[in-house]
């Protein structure tokens, strides 16, 4: 064994090897034994090297020389990295009293450097070689290297506690009222990406104001290093004024479009002209409408695709086979507004296909005409075939049956799950017999033909011998579509799709592939067949101008490629729930230019209601993945702060709104601390009869006005899902001078508040609330993922409406067709909803379809009860003959039908809802169902019933 500089040369059995001293784990050991002295050198690489039988004095002297060289080697290695090590040690030691927030982007480079030094040096240093004091310093750094996350977490907690105390006076005075703990926390937290969950009325503007002022006053950033972003021009101006007024710090807030336009101008030297429709949604929609009209007139192949869309794919192509109950099927049909090109409403999608094909083909028809021959004593309603062709007199019946293969190879006809097969097939036979008996021509079509993709071709073949087709020109059909006001909604859908398509950088191939994955079928294909040429034409008509999507994307590309160098180190974004894919791309590009850029986003995913303008709620729900930093192998590092407290709504409104919006499990959970306690029922549902909406609104406002004392007035905000619901505000203000009454659409009301809110027309229907035209599944083709929850965005719109109210919320809804939201609010006790006394009524289930049976007053003043699905079900019942108001019902297990007034009647043997009353026929008196002629149930009059009738007549 021989020492050579920083190595030991070891000769063993004629073999020579070198062992580096920096691999030694401890000084050499020397001990005496019976066979002489033993010298041992321990190495991490070579293990123990043992030399036996040497002289003790020589072994001791050699060991001392090796130890000295080993210590010098360790110390000199540390000396060479002294500055680097001292800097790392000081940084890690400062975790106990950090002066800046230990964000991932600040600590990650430190960790990377410390790990590199640990591998190269620190892990090789031996405590015995460097001494206890140096060992302690090295251990501190190595402990951080081994487990950095707890060290950073502890440093964050220490910093936040000290910083909140240090800036207490600032937080107490920056706004008119001291900031809450959550607001203060959101200001001092300074992670790579920080998301502040700001519920309705929680003071988000105060947070942004304080954050901007704090960054400058604390010396963290200069004003020009802060980018304050808002979505609307007026919001940006208000924010700029507020920041400077409250803090004295001159920071100019800008819209996304303003900063994008500035970036383009700096890179290109001039700013391109903006498209006329860029700032005008009405002009944008009108441009889409004009493109469609021009295509119909000039491009036959596109014209055909457009007409096909309106004729066969405007509504979702679902049939009764897609539903388990009649109620569900009828509800869906009502939502779809199945109106034909000729203008009438039909009862199924397959009937719509047939009617529109007939219209396209120029074949005149009547829908559900009364059969031309009178049919006597059938016990049925008047026979109304589905279609009658006006020129030829041919009838068409569409039968909802499909074919089912049996185990023996034969086939049988089956009906939808909720349809009685035997009764339906019997009805088919009866109709055939009627036509045969009266020698009228009947053409039959079947659901299985559509299932097999040949419904219309098969119909054409069957009609060919009887009629001459005279197809209508495309422009004639399109003019009809315009008359039916179907173009407006479709143009809005195309416009929303176009903006999201551009914003997300999608291609037609992307959409095609996604529609296949999602099994959206022919409707998606039909839509893309129209959208693709519309988009191409739209781009061409822009010419040298740009729209807002182009503006954002072009700016983002300049930032991504480094043609624009960003001065910004803190990006503060207001109303973050409204961010789109293109805006997010710009923010990410600005963040990526410098390693220390922070994103501070304030928003409320519960108020994300601008999907039609391109907002993408998934960006907020996946905030960390999209904007977060990385630390210790973990990606998406971010911090979320929940403001929690609302300064607006009382407890009943705040908690009901929270419960309502969180029915969608995809919404981010937030705690709510209400502004105060309600002293009276804060949420009321008032049901209105048809034609009495204005009267009911006046009664509600009168009740509000009557509660005010002479010295006070109150603000009332009338909300409607659509602009056309606006009442005569001047008349209302004149009649109720102590109420400050205003009207807004719910979307326009965002950010507003009032003492009392009245939500009008919370009814079901295509133009009801929830709106049944906004959440078209086709929009998922240009969204990162589908919102699976039904009416997801409309539920958030309802949340916005509810949370405009400080003290009371009154919801006006149709007695005969209340919206699903109203039904939910009234049904679930968790909401604590108070119904107005006049609106209290029992809810009865329709025995025919499972819907609700509602009371209505006939023209003669009599009360009737009919199914809510009046166009489909037709179940109608008179009020109790005894009290003339209530509805007799059959209790479970009871042999009679009883009314709440005490009267009882024999149940109908043929239907669930009916009961028997005395009638007179050709053969004398009998008992017949009150639902006649819909139901032909009857029975003989028993002696007991006869005696009871005679006793009543004597009284």
Partners of 41 in beta bridges? 49
* Dihedral sign, Cα of residue 796, residue 800, residue 805, residue 810: negative
Going through 785-836 in order, the beta strands assigned E by DSSP cover: 805-814, 834-835
Alpha helices in 683-811 (DSSP H): 693-706, 729-735, 792-802
Q: Could you give the C-alpha distances from 514 to 67, 528, 773, 785, in angstroms and in order?
A: 70, 12, 22, 10
DSSP 558-609: HHHTTSS----SEEEESSGGG-BHHHHHHHHHHHHTSTT-EEEEEE-GGG--
Binding residue per annotation — 23? no
Using an 8 Å Cβ cutoff, are 853 and 845 in contact? yes
Task: Check the annotation: does 204 bind a ligand.
Answer: yes
CA angle 478, 365, 377 (to 5 degrees): 150
- DSSP strand pairing (36-43 vs 29-33): antiparallel
CA distance 933 to 573: 65
Say which residue the tokens 């819209």 belong to.
255
Coil, helix or strand for 443?
strand
Question: Facing residues of 20 across strands?
Answer: 7
Q: Assess contact for 124 and 650: CB atoms under 8 A.
A: no
Query: Which of 480, 532, 494 is closest to 311 using CA atoms?
Result: 480
Q: Rounded to whole angstroms, how far apart are CA atoms 758 and 744? A: 11
Kind of pairing between the strands at 924-929 and 916-921: antiparallel
Other beta carbons less than 10 A from residue 891's beta carbon: 9
Q: How far apart are CA 866 and CA 854, in angstroms?
A: 6
Whether the CA torsion 706, 708, 709, 715 is positive or negative: it is negative
* CA 14 to mean position of chain CA atoms: 79
Q: How many residues does the chain have?
A: 955
Q: How many CB atoms lie within 10 A of CB 948?
A: 11
Do 935 and 914 form a contact (C-beta atoms < 8 A)?
A: yes
- 921 among annotated binding-site residues: no
Residue 199 is assigned to a ligand binding site:
yes
703 among annotated binding-site residues: no
* Pair type for strands 889-890 and 876-878: unpaired
- In 400-459, beta strands by DSSP E: 402-405, 411-414, 442-446
Q: Do residues 112 and 104 make contact, with C-beta atoms less than 8 angstroms apart?
A: no
The secondary structure of residue 771, as a DSSP letter, is -
Residue (of 208, 238, 951) closest to 643 by Cα position: 208
Q: Is 202 annotated as contributing to ligand binding?
A: yes
> Sheet harboring 387-389: ordered strands across?
365-367, 387-389, 395-399, 442-446
Q: What token pair was written down for 205?
A: 């503007």
Nearest C-alpha neighbor of 383 from the set 326, 440, 344, 337? 440
**Helix, coil or strand: residue 883:** coil
The answer to whether 242 and 574 are in contact (CB under 8 A) is no
* Token pair in block for residue 369: 């005409």
Q: What is the largest CA-CA distance in the chain?
A: 140
User: Rounded distance, CA 446 to CA 402, Å?
Assistant: 7
What is the C-alpha separation between 163 and 219, in angstroms, rounded?
13
Helix (H, G, I), strand (E, B) or coil at 669: coil
Within a 10 A sphere around the Cβ of 649, how many other Cβ atoms? Answer: 30
Annotated binding site for ATP: which residue ranges? 198-205
Residue ranges at the known binding site: 198-205
């Amino acid at each position: 064994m021989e020492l050579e500089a920083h190595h030991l040369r070891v000769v063993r059995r004629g073999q020579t090897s070198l062992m580096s001293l920096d691999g030694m784990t401890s000084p050499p050991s020397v001990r005496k034994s019976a066979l002489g002295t033993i010298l041992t050198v321990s190495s991490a690489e070579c293990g123990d090297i043992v030399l036996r039988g040497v002289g003790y004095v020589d072994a001791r002297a050699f060991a001392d020389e090796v130890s000295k060289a080993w210590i010098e080697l360790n110390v000199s290695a540390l000396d060479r990295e002294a500055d680097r090590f001292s800097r790392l040690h000081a940084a890690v030691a400062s975790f106990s009293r950090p002066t800046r927030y230990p964000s991932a982007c600040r600590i990650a480079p430190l960790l990377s450097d410390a790990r590199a030094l640990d591998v190269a040096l620190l892990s090789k240093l031996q405590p015995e070689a460097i001494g206890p004091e140096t060992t302690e310093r090295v251990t501190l750094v190595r402990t951080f290297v081994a487990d950095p996350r707890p060290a950073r977490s502890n440093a964050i907690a220490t910093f936040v506690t000290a910083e909140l105390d240090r800036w207490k006076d600032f937080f107490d005075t920056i706004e008119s009222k001291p900031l809450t703990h959550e607001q203060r926390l959101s200001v001092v937290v300074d992670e790579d990406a920080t998301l502040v969950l700001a519920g309705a009325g929680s003071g988000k503007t105060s947070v942004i104001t304080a954050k901007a002022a704090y960054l400058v006053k604390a010396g963290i950033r200069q004003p020009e290093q802060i980018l304050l972003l808002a979505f609307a021009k007026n919001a940006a101006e208000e924010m700029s004024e507020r920041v400077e007024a409250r803090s004295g710090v001159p920071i100019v807030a800008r819209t996304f479009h303003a900063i994008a336009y500035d970036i383009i101008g700096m890179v290109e030297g001039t700013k391109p002209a903006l498209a006329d429709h860029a700032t005008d949604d009405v002009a944008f929609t009108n441009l889409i409408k004009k493109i469609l009209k021009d295509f119909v007139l000039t491009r036959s192949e596109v014209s055909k695709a457009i007409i096909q869309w309106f004729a066969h794919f405007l509504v979702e192509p679902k049939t009764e086979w897609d539903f388990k109950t009649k109620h569900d099927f009828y509800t869906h049909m009502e939502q779809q507004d199945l109106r034909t090109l000729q203008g009438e409403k039909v009862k199924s999608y397959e009937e719509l296909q047939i009617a529109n094909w007939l219209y396209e083909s120029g074949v005149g028809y009547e829908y559900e005409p009364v059969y031309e021959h009178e049919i006597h004593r059938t016990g049925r309603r008047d026979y109304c075939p589905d279609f009658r062709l006006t020129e030829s007199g041919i009838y068409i019946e569409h039968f909802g049956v499909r074919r089912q293969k049996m185990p023996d190879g034969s086939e049988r006809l089956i009906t939808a799950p909720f349809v009685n097969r035997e009764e339906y097939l019997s009805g088919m036979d009866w109709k055939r017999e009627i036509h045969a008996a009266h020698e009228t021509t009947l053409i039959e079509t079947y659901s299985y033909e559509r299932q097999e993709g040949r419904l219309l071709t098969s119909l054409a073949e069957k009609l060919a011998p009887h009629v001459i087709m005279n197809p209508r020109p495309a422009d004639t059909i399109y003019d009809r579509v315009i008359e039916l006001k179907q173009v407006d909604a479709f143009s809005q859908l195309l416009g929303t799709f176009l903006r999201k398509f551009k914003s997300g950088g999608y291609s037609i191939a992307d959409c095609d592939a996604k529609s296949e994955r999602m099994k959206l079928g022919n409707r998606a294909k039909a839509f893309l067949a129209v959208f693709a040429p519309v988009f191409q034409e739209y781009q061409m008509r822009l010419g040298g101008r740009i729209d807002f999507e182009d503006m954002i994307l072009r700016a983002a590309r300049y930032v991504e490629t480094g043609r624009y160098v960003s001065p910004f180190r803190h990006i503060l974004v207001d109303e973050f729930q409204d961010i789109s894919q293109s805006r997010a791309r710009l923010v990410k590009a600005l963040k990526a230019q410098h390693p220390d850029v922070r994103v501070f986003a304030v928003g409320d995913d519960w108020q994300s209601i601008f999907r039609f303008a391109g907002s993408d709620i998934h960006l907020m729900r996946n905030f960390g993945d999209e904007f977060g930093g990385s630390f210790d192998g973990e990606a998406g590092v971010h911090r979320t702060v929940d403001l929690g407290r609302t300064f607006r709504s009382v407890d009943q409104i705040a908690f009901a709104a929270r419960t309502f919006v969180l029915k969608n499990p995809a919404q981010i959970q937030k705690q709510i601390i209400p502004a105060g306690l309600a002293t009276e029922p804060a949420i009321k549902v008032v049901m209105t009869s048809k034609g009495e909406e204005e009267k009911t609104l006046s009664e509600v406002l009168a009740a509000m006005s009557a509660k005010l004392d002479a010295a006070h007035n109150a603000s009332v905000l009338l909300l409607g899902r659509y602009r056309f619901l606006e009442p005569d505000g001047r008349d209302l203000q004149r009649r109720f001078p102590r109420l400050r009454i205003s009207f807004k659409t719910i979307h326009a009301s965002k950010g507003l508040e009032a003492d009392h809110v009245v939500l009008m027309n919370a009814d079901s229907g295509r133009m009801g609330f929830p709106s049944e035209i906004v959440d078209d599944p086709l929009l998922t083709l240009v969204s990162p993922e589908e919102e699976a929850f039904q009416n997801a965005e409309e539920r958030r719109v309802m949340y916005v409406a509810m949370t405009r109210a400080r003290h009371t919320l009154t919801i006006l809804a149709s007695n005969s067709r209340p919206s699903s939201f109203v039904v939910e609010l009234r049904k679930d006790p968790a909401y604590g909803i108070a119904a107005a006394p006049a609106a209290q009524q029992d809810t009865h289930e329709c025995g025919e379809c499972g819907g609700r049976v509602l009371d209505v007053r006939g023209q003669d003043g009599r009360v009737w009860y009919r199914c809510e699905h009046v166009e489909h079900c037709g179940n109608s019942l008179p009020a109790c003959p005894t009290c003339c108001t209530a509805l007799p019902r059959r209790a479970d297990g009871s042999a009679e039908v009883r009314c709440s007034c005490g009267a009882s009647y024999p149940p109908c043997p043929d239907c669930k809802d009916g009961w028997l009353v005395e009638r007179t026929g050709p053969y004398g008196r009998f008992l017949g169902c009150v639902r006649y002629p819909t139901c032909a149930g009857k029975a003989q009059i028993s002696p007991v019933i006869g005696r009871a009738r005679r006793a009543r007549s004597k009284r």
